Amino acid sequence: MRLHAATPHGRHDVAPAPRTASSARLRSGTYVGYGANSNTTSRLRRYVGEAGNRPLLLDHTEPLLRAGEPNRVRIVSDGSTVQWWNNGRLVFDHRDPEPYTSRHFAFRTVTSHFRISDFTVWRPPARG
């Protein structure tokens, strides 16, 4: 999958998810905030289904978004393993003691714009 960061005037934006207390209560899952906090950090967080309760699992000051530069992203969610790769580099590698085994998958953007291309989802091979 490739994420292409666009300038604020680019037309490759994705509608942001609604930010209401009721919708936050319904969400649970693990997510990466790539270029979070006005593009000063990249974070791995967990939503636990309670409004405002998003434990910070990992926090880095890079990699960050660069306007106009493509990023090749790989996301792995396999049992307790959660990994996020950027341009061939493992950025987040987390073992979740209470993994989510079924949830929705989504992209969300807030004050940044991106275009997604070459998007593929596949199930890991069965373990013997």
Is 90 exceeded by the pLDDT of residue 101?
no
Query: Would residue 125 count as lying in a domain?
Result: no
Which residue from 30, 35, 46 is spatially nearest to 86, judged by alpha carbons?
Answer: 35
Indicate the pTM of the whole model.
Answer: 0.72
63 class by beta-carbon count within 10 Å (0-12 exposed, 13-18 middle, 19+ buried) = middle
128 falls within a domain: no
In a domain, 53, yes or no: yes
| Total number of domains constituting the chain | 1
> Does residue 19 fall inside a structural domain?
yes
In a domain, 54, yes or no: yes
Does residue 127 belong to any structural domain of this protein?
Answer: no
Q: How far apart are CA 68 and CA 10, in angstroms?
A: 10
pLDDT digits (tens, 9 = 90+) for 40-50: 889 999 888 88
The answer to whether residue 14 sits within a structural domain is yes
Domain-located, residue 68: yes
